[in-house]
Amino acid sequence: MTAPTPSVAGSSVHKGLKFALIVPSTNTSVEREFHHLRPRDCSWHTGRIMISAVALDSADAFGKFRDNLNEALPAALETVMTAQPDYLVMGMSAETFWGGVAGNAEFELRVRDLTGLEVTTGATAAGHALQAFGAKKIGVITPYQPVGDEQVVAYFSELGFEVTAIHGLKSASATSIADETPDDIRAAFLAVDGPDVDALIQCGTNLEAVAVAAELERELDKPVIAINLATVWHALRANGIDDKIFGHGSLLERF
């Protein structure tokens, strides 16, 4: 599905603001979606985390992936900091949900300590996005195995949301997450929807869901939030950029 050309309204003063965008080397979706959502004069500068343990097909493999990511993260940060960015954005989300609210806070603190910059994580952005809509009961989709889904449910539950259903697509590897089709993503969203669900949200940044979520949001008349959209929104608003970017979902249009 081709993303629509964005329409931007607003006159924020943010000329030259540079965002460091940190992604796993296996991720092929974040940069495409983020560049569709770039306000004028801002820029994304990618630092890639070298991932050699790409398998995600078991709890053990998921653990090795996380260990690999955490070991390689400092090098990716060191490289991207040579661009002298103004702010850090994590284009990866599984690790930020791990360990609940405290785990996400510890991850953010580690990044701040390594760089001296403030940071937006997927977990923080997702929570703030749901709060912006006033959601209470949510349906969640992920590309993860059950071990990852458990962490996501725990995180949202700790924030006070009731997760009525979660659907993990169980992608076999960090790379193959991007192979999930728009039809797969649409079906997953519909599987966790219901009349008592206030909002739907997607986790897993390599799952390219912005266009599908925006389309479903119009059909279902309720918030359908892709994590990459939420992450961009949070990073912009944290930096005083209030541009409304149209055509990709109501989060960046309304708040």
20-37 tens-digit pLDDT: 999 999 999 999 999 999
Residue 208 corresponds to which tokens in the numbers above?
């390219």
Question: Can you tell me the distance from the alpha carbon of 227 to that of 207, in angstroms, rounded to the nearest whole number?
Answer: 9
The pLDDT value recorded for residue 6 is: 47
Q: For residue 89, which of 102, 99, 80 has the smallest C-alpha distance? A: 80
In which residue ranges of the chain is pLDDT below 50? 1-6, 11-12
Please count the residues of the chain: 255
Q: For residue 182, which of 217, 145, 208, 219 has the smallest C-alpha distance? A: 208
Contact 170, 144 (CB under 8 A): yes
The pLDDT value recorded for residue 9 is: 54
The pLDDT value recorded for residue 11 is: 44
Question: Can you tell me the distance from the alpha carbon of 37 to that of 208, in angstroms, rounded to the nearest whole number?
Answer: 13
Express each pLDDT in 105-148 by its tens digit. 999 999 999 999 999 999 999 999 999 999 999 999 999 999 99
Q: For residue 132, which of 60, 198, 194 has the smallest C-alpha distance? A: 198
Question: Can you tell me the distance from the alpha carbon of 238 to that of 39, in angstroms, rounded to the nearest whole number?
Answer: 14
Which domains, from first to last, does the chain contain?
A: 15-122+228-246+249-253 (3.40.50.12500), 124-226 (3.40.50.12500)
Pairing assessment for the beta strands 7-9 and 244-246 based on DSSP bridges: antiparallel
Q: For residue 139, which of 217, 205, 207 has the smallest C-alpha distance? A: 217
DSSP annotation of 93 = -
From residue 44, how far is each of 20, 60, 88, 201, 225 by CA, in Å? 6, 33, 10, 24, 21
Amino acid letter for position 87:
Y
